[in-house]
Amino acid sequence: MRLSRAVRDTLVGALIAAGALASVVLFVTTTYFTVLCLIGIGFLALPHLTTAVRWVCDLNRRAAASSGVPVERPYRPEPEEIERDIVGWVRRCKWILADPASWRDLLWLLLNSVVGLLLGSAPAALLYYAGEGLVLAAGLWRPVAADGTGRWYAFITVDSWPAALAAALAALTVFAGWLHLSSWILKGHAYFVLFLLGPTQGARLASRVRHLAETRSGALDIQAAEVRRIERDLHDGAQARLVSLGLTLGAVDRQLDRNTEEARRLLNDARSSSVQALRELRGLVRGIHPPVLAERGLADAVRALGIASPLPVTVVADLPGKLPDPVESAIYFSVSELLTNALKHADAGQVEVSLHYADGALHGQVTDDGRGGAAMSAGSGLEGIRRRLASFDGVLEIDSPRGGPTVMKMELPCALSSPKTSSS
């Protein structure tokens, strides 16, 4: 593993050294045409040279990332809608020259011609030197030392077999250094790349501001599209059905004295239209987080429902933290529906609502002192609550004996999203 890593680092270092030689050419050429921009000639070649410079810089950023030092691109975004003529060409050159990262690229090209050449060729030089020592110790020293002077390797004059053995040990030491130091050498070059080719604090801050502006613009577009969808669904769906319902009731009023059967049929049609309109309204608001939940939390939102109800409602809530928004919305609408059921069908005198969190689940209970008889028959509001809670793996249980109090229990598994400083 270490050997393959050292071989890879040596190859990458050789490419870095080759790129350092190219840095010299790019630095001289780019500097020359940048100066010529003062008289207008350099504008023709500068964009092409900048593309080549940034390509070489990006290759070095990728090499730094392979050494464990990720380097972001610091360039400013290219202006949109640049004309494909001489005016657009000049605008592109101004964009290049106004970007501080372009000047840091030039500085990096100049310094990399030395730093990149030294650090990039260092692993290959260590490997070559280790191989030279081993080949010399294997017997190559004999013809070299035939004139009686020997061959100098490291700190050893190789002119005998004992000296060859010492040279072999020194070569193995160099080889071990190549195995262990190659990655550190490339990492040093990676930090050099990060220092000059990475974004500055100001560039990073400007990039974050641009990102926030783009995401905010996207969020506003999505919000506007959602508002338009709601308006369209209201106009084409529930609003049209309510208008039709009003016309049907007007027809019922006209037929009530003349044709009782026709009036009854129109009333049935009106009931069906009201049920369909209510279903469409529920589908429209599903997923919309009520503002009262966002501003006051689930406990106070349920208390607000109790205050708005014509019945005396007692709310007992013990919630040690904030629940996920979909869970709060589901419980809020479920309690609202249960309070409506107690008012319209149970003939209750008072209602008690209890909410508490225990064992990784939210437990809710709505109890009234009415006449009972509530059932989750098909098409009822209670059936809709059961389906809503079931979508979150929750359950709804109803104990509603005829002539007795109704107890409706809800249980919804969920996790607290954030702690709360006080309990209601």
DSSP 79: P
Supply 232's token pair: 């369209």
With 0-12 / 13-18 / 19 or more C-beta atoms within 10 angstroms meaning exposed / middle / buried, residue 312 is: exposed
Predicted confidence (pLDDT) per residue in 137-191, tens digit: 877 767 766 565 667 777 777 777 787 788 888 888 888 888 888 889 999 999 9
Angle at 295 between CA 290 and CA 297, to 5 degrees: 80
CATH code of 292-419, in short, is 3.30.565.10
Closest-CA residue to 306 (of 314, 294, 297): 314
Residue 233 CA to residue 235 CA, distance in Å, equals 5
The reported pLDDT for the residue numbered 385 is 77
- 363 with 355: CB under 8 angstroms? yes
Higher-confidence residue of 277 and 364: namely: 364
Predicted confidence (pLDDT) per residue in 107-125, tens digit: 999 999 899 899 988 999 9
Tally Cβ neighbours within 10 Å of residue 230: 13
Residue 290 CA to residue 379 CA, distance in Å, equals 25
Q: What is the mean pLDDT of the chain?
A: 80
User: What is Dmax (Cα atoms) for the chain?
Assistant: 137
Sequence-ordered list of residues with C-beta below 8 angstroms from that of 132, at least 6 positions apart, any chain: 153, 171
Mean pLDDT, to the nearest integer, of 242-254? 77
Per-residue confidence band for 3, with pLDDT thresholds at 50, 70 and 90: confident
- What residues are paired with 354 via a beta bridge? 316, 365
Residue 395 CA to residue 409 CA, distance in Å, equals 8
Residue 217 CA to residue 64 CA, distance in Å, equals 34
DSSP 396: E
Task: With a cut of 80, say whether residue 219 has pLDDT above it.
Answer: no
Per-residue confidence band for 77, with pLDDT thresholds at 50, 70 and 90: confident
**Ramachandran region, residue 81 (left: φ > 0; alpha: ψ -120 to 50; beta: rest):** left
What is the distance, to the nearest Å, from the Cα of residue 83 to the centroid of all Cα atoms in its chain?
A: 34
What is the C-alpha radius of gyration for the chain, rounded to an integer number of angstroms?
40
Per-residue confidence band for 421, with pLDDT thresholds at 50, 70 and 90: very low
Angle between helices 100-135 and 2-36 (to 10 degrees): 140
The reported pLDDT for the residue numbered 254 is 77
CA dihedral for 12, 16, 18, 19, sign (positive or negative): positive
The reported pLDDT for the residue numbered 345 is 74
The reported pLDDT for the residue numbered 111 is 92
